[in-house]
Chain A
Amino acid sequence: MKQAKAIRSHSSGAALKEWKKNYDLYLFLLPAVAFFVLFSYIPMGGLIVAFKDYNIFQGVWGSEWTGFENFKEMFSILEFAQITRNTLVLNLLGLLICFPAPIVLALMLNEVRAKVLKRVSQSLLYLPHFMSWIVLGGIVYAVLSPKYGIINEILRWFGMNEIYFMADKGWWIIVYTLSAVWQSAGWGTIIYLAAITAIDPSLYEAASIDGAGRIRKIFSVTLPSIMPTIVILFILAVGNMVSIGVEQPLALANAVVGDVSEVISTYVYRVGIKQGEFGLTTAVGLVQSVINLVLIVTANHFAKKAGGEGIW
C-alpha cells in the first residue's frame, strides 16, 4: 500500500493534499461553477446558431449549417447599418456627456464646505439611479408631453410653440442622452467623491504654499490624483461601446422615432425573439460581443501602456 502511494507522482499528491485540506471550500464553489457553465458558457456555445439556419422544430443540432450566410445577410440589410449607427451615436454621445458629468459634479461637491448641502445634493442626485427605466421613461414622457407637460407649459408661457420632443428625431436623441445623465450621474459622483476624499491633504497644502487658488488646485492636485479611477471607468465605458442596454431604448422609444431609436439590442429583441429570426440575430449578437471584447482589451492595453493600471 505504502509503495503504491509513493509511486504516485508528486503533483497528484499535492493536489490530493489540497483537496483534503479544503474540500469543503471547493464544494462551496461547485454551485457557482455549475451556474456559470450553464448560464454563461453554454450560451457562448449557443452562438453556433449564428452559423445555422435555425429551425424551432429541428432545434440547435438539427438545423441546417449555413456557414457565413447569416453574416452576409446581416451586412446587406439596410437596417443593420442603421442600428449600428444608432448604437454608436447614442453611445458616443453618452460617452461625451454622461462620462464627464459625474466627474464635474464630484469636483463641485468637493468644493462645497456646507456639509448639509453636500449630503442633500448627493442623496437627491443619486435617486434616479434606483428607478427602473419604465418609471423614468414614464416621467420623461409626462414632463415633455406637448399638451400636459411642464416644459411645454413653460415654453408657452414665453410665447413659444410646443415642441414635440419625443416625436422629433433630433430632440429624441438629446432627451435620450440627458435622461441617461439624469439616471447615472449620481452613481458616478459617489465613486469619484470617494476617490477624491482619499487624496492626501498635504498635497493641497503644498499647492497653497505655491500660491495655487481653488481652481488651480482642482486641475493640478485633484484631477491627477483620481486619474486611475477615471481611467478604469473609462475603459469599462468604452468596452460597452457596441452594446447598449436594452431597457433605456425600449422604455423611451416610440413608433415615430424608430429610425434613430432602434439600436442593436432592441433590434435583436424585435426581429430575433418576436419575429423568430434566430440565426440572423444571433449573428448580430456575436459580432457585437466580439467587438466589445476587442474594444475592452484594446482600451485596457493602452491604459496600461500609458503608464496607468488596467482592469487586469
Chain B
Amino acid sequence: MSALRTASKRKSAINRLSPGEAAFGIVVYGTLIFFTLACLFPFVNTLANAFSSSNAIQTGKVLLWPVEFQWDSMRMILADNSVIRALLVTVYLTAVGTALNLFFTVITAYPLSRRDLKWRGLFMKFMVITMLFSGGMIPLFLLVKSLHLLNTLWALILPGLISAFNVIIMKSFFQALPDELREASIVDGCGNIRYLVQVVLPLSGASLATIGLFYAVGHWNSYFGAVLYIDNPDLLTLQVKLRNILLLSQMDTSMEQMTMQSNFTVIQESLKAAVIVVATVPILVVYPFLQKYFVKGSLLGSVKG
C-alpha cells in the first residue's frame, strides 16, 4: 500500500513543476542564451564591420550585419603583399611545426605508456619537474640567442617542440589500449617499433587529431614568440602582422582625430575588422573538426595520467 502511494507521489512530483522550479528553468535558459549570444556578438559585429562602409561605422549603424556593403577593405587586406607573406609564413610554420610536434610527442609518449618499461618513472619525474618550475623569459631568450636561432622560424618551433602536458594526454590514450594487443603481437614476433607503427598509430586517430589540433592552434595563434625572437619584417607571422596593423591605427583613434584625418581613421576601423576576419577565418573553417576532437581531448586530459 505504502509502496503504491510512494510511487504515485513520485510520479506526480516529477510532473508538477513548482513555481520555484519554473522560475529556475527560466533563469537557466535565459542566462545561457544571453551568455551564448554575448559570446558570439563581438565576432558577428566585427564581421559586419569588415564589410560596412566607413560612414555606417562612424555613425554606429552597424550591429549584426553590414550596412552599406563594401568589398574594399577586404580587397585591400588580401592584396597587401606583407599580409600575404605573413599568412604564408604562418601556414608554413603551422604545418611544419605541428608535424614535428606530433612526431616527437608520439615517440616520447609511447615508451612512457608501456608499463613494463623499468625506468619510465624516472623520466616522468624528469618531465613533470619542467612543468612546475621554469627559468623564465630571460634565460630562455639568452639561450635562443646563443644558439643563433634569433630571426629564424626555428626559434618558434624548437622551444615548444614537446609539450609535457600533451605527452601526458597522449600517454593516457596509449595506455587505454588493451594489453592483449601487445601480448598477441609479441607472440607473432613483432618488435616495439613495428608494433607502434602498425598497431598503435592506426588505432590512435582520435588522439593524434586532438593533440595535432592543440599544437596547430597554438602555432597559428602564437604571437609573443614571434615578437620576442623575430624582427625581420619578412618573417612576421600573421598575428604579429595583425598586431602591427591594429596598433598603428590604435594610436590614431586614441588621439582624437582632426577632420582631415577622420576619413583615414574611419576606413581604418573597417580595415582593422577585415584583418581580424582574415586572421580568424582559417580557425573557423577548421572549427567543426576542432570541436569534435577537442572535447575528446579534454576528457582524456581530465583523467589523471
Are A25 and B114 in contact (CB-based, < 8 A)?
A: yes
Are A293 and B132 in contact (CB-based, < 8 A)?
A: yes
- Among B58, B138, B291, the one with the most A-chain Cβ atoms within 10 Å of its Cβ is B138
Known interface pairs A130-B290, A150-B45, A213-B21. Does A32 touch B108 (Cβ–Cβ under 8 Å)? yes
- Taking the closest CB of chain A, its distance from the CB of B7, in whole angstroms, is 10
Are A130 and B276 in contact (CB-based, < 8 A)?
A: no
- Taking the closest CB of chain A, its distance from the CB of B138, in whole angstroms, is 4
- Taking the closest CB of chain A, its distance from the CB of B269, in whole angstroms, is 5
Are B63 and A150 in contact (CB-based, < 8 A)?
A: yes
Residues in chain B within 8 A of chain A (CB atoms): 6, 10, 13-14, 18, 20-21, 24-25, 28-29, 31-33, 35-36, 38-40, 42-43, 45-46, 49, 57-58, 60, 62-63, 104, 107-108, 110-112, 114, 116-119, 123, 126-128, 130, 132-143, 146, 158-159, 161-162, 164, 167, 191-193, 217, 220-224, 227-228, 239-240, 242-243, 246, 250, 253-254, 266, 269, 272-273, 275-276, 279-280, 283, 287, 290-291, 294-295, 298-299, 301-302, 304
Cβ–Cβ < 8 Å partners of A9 in chain B = none
- Taking the closest CB of chain A, its distance from the CB of B50, in whole angstroms, is 10
Are B283 and A131 in contact (CB-based, < 8 A)?
A: yes
Q: Which of A132, A187, A296 contacts B298 (CB 8 A)?
A: A187
Cβ–Cβ < 8 Å partners of A272 in chain B = 137-138, 141
Q: For the complex, what is the distance from the CA of A123 to the CA of B104, rounded to whole Å?
A: 31
**Main SS of chain A's interface residues?**
helix
16 new A-B contacts, CB < 8 A, other than A31-B107, A49-B142, A145-B269, are A25-B110, A25-B192, A28-B108, A31-B162, A33-B126, A39-B158, A43-B143, A44-B135, A49-B138, A111-B24, A117-B33, A138-B272, A142-B269, A145-B253, A256-B254, A265-B137
Known interface pairs A134-B279, A208-B10. Does A296 touch B20 (Cβ–Cβ under 8 Å)? no
Cβ–Cβ < 8 Å partners of B161 in chain A = 35, 39
Are A43 and B136 in contact (CB-based, < 8 A)?
A: yes
Are B119 and A18 in contact (CB-based, < 8 A)?
A: yes
Chain B CB within 8 A of A143 CB: yes
- Among A46, A215, A297, the one with the most B-chain Cβ atoms within 10 Å of its Cβ is A46
Using a Cβ–Cβ cut-off of 8 Å, how many residues does chain A contribute to the interface with B? Answer: 102
Sample 23 A-B pairs with CB under 8 A, ordered by A number. A25-B117, A26-B111, A28-B107, A39-B140, A43-B136, A45-B139, A108-B28, A117-B29, A117-B32, A127-B40, A130-B283, A133-B223, A134-B279, A148-B266, A148-B269, A150-B60, A215-B20, A254-B254, A268-B136, A281-B137, A282-B136, A289-B134, A292-B133
**Main SS of chain B's interface residues?**
helix
- Name the residue of chain A whose CB is nearest to the CB of B196: A28
- Taking the closest CB of chain A, its distance from the CB of B76, in whole angstroms, is 17
Q: Which 9 A-B pairs have the closest CB atoms?
A: A46-B139, A285-B136, A43-B135, A132-B221, A153-B60, A43-B139, A40-B130, A25-B111, A32-B108
Q: Which listed segment binds B: A73-81, A88-96, A169-177, A190-198?
A: A190-198
Cβ–Cβ < 8 Å partners of B223 in chain A = 132-134, 247
Enumerate A138-187 residues with CB–CB distance to B below 8 Å. 138-143, 145, 147-148, 150, 152-153, 156, 167, 182, 185-187
Residues in chain A within 8 A of chain B (CB atoms): 18, 22, 24-26, 28-29, 31-33, 35-36, 38-47, 49, 59-60, 105, 108-109, 111-112, 117, 120-121, 123-128, 130-135, 137-143, 145, 147-148, 150, 152-153, 156, 167, 182, 185-187, 190-191, 194-195, 208-209, 211, 213-215, 229, 232, 239, 246-247, 250-251, 254, 256, 265, 268-269, 272-273, 278, 281-282, 285-286, 288-289, 292-293, 296-297, 309, 311-312
Known interface pairs A109-B32, A285-B137. Does A132 touch B239 (Cβ–Cβ under 8 Å)? yes
Known interface pairs A128-B39, A254-B250. Does A209 touch B10 (Cβ–Cβ under 8 Å)? yes
- Name the residue of chain B whose CB is nearest to the CB of A38: B143
Are A32 and B104 in contact (CB-based, < 8 A)?
A: yes
Q: For the complex, what is the distance from the CA of A47 to the CA of B164, rounded to whole Å?
A: 21
Q: For the complex, what is the distance from the CA of A60 to the CA of B139, rounded to whole Å?
A: 10
Q: For the complex, what is the distance from the CA of A145 to the CA of B60, rounded to whole Å?
A: 11
Cβ–Cβ < 8 Å partners of B291 in chain A = 123, 126
- Name the residue of chain A whose CB is nearest to the CB of B300: A194
- Taking the closest CB of chain B, its distance from the CB of A275, in whole angstroms, is 12
- Taking the closest CB of chain B, its distance from the CB of A182, in whole angstroms, is 6
- Name the residue of chain B whose CB is nearest to the CB of A114: B29
Q: For the complex, what is the distance from the CA of A194 to the CA of B302, rounded to whole Å?
A: 9
Are B142 and A125 in contact (CB-based, < 8 A)?
A: no
Cβ–Cβ < 8 Å partners of A311 in chain B = 304
Are B224 and A250 in contact (CB-based, < 8 A)?
A: yes
Q: Which of A26, A36, A186, A278 contacts B162 (CB 8 A)?
A: A36
Are A125 and B45 in contact (CB-based, < 8 A)?
A: no
Known interface pairs A25-B110, A138-B242. Does A36 touch B130 (Cβ–Cβ under 8 Å)? yes
Q: For the complex, what is the distance from the CA of A295 to the CA of B264, rounded to whole Å?
A: 50
Known interface pairs A105-B32, A167-B254, A309-B304. Does A142 touch B272 (Cβ–Cβ under 8 Å)? yes
Are A138 and B104 in contact (CB-based, < 8 A)?
A: no
